[in-house]
Structure 1
Amino acid sequence: MSIHPRTEPWLRASRDIREILGKLQGDYGLTDVEMLRVLFAHQQDMTVRMLRAERHPGHPGRRADTEYPSCPPAQIDAQPRTGRPSTYARPKRSETI
């Protein structure tokens, strides 16, 4: 059985990032949940940037969820808008930790 050429670098990077994250968690004295929140925030930021780049090539500062007249329709979300509000309700500031 042959291994895909990208598997080995991916495994090495995964091992290295686990070591780095473990060191950062220890250096800052973060709990597992706090560290997970840091990672989620970083992942969310990366995802927004990727979505902006996908929807507005050449204009990364534009919001991902906004349609601009200069963008061809194919670069804007292909799924139709329903006009319904999101089912996710953000907790009030007083409800957060």
Structure 2
Amino acid sequence: MSQRGHTHSQSLSNSSRLGDLLVRRGQLRSYQLNFLLRLQQAYRAVARNFRLGELLVSHRAVELAVVEQGLALQKVYLRQETHELDEILSQFEEVTQTKKP
């Protein structure tokens, strides 16, 4: 868990998390994100799982279109991160293969 208590998508880097994307783009304030993440945790404690985007819209922090744009941007970031990881793994495999006798 990061400093702000993020529980959403722990496998995602900070740069590709929906809330962080919206804050960086100036479409959401960090205090709103922090509140909604705490609310999301509280809902999960009583077995009610809401996605962050749902909470953003239902609590009128942002419009649905903003969430949709953020999710589209998130996909771009994830593809880029996956591509970068693939390149790193490929380079690692090349290095380890050249070191074999």
* Larger of the two Rg values belongs to structure: 1
TM-score normalised to structure 2 length: 0.34
Q: Where is the helix percentage greater, Structure 1 or Structure 2?
A: 2
Structure with the bigger RCO (C-alpha within 8 Å, sep 6+) is 2
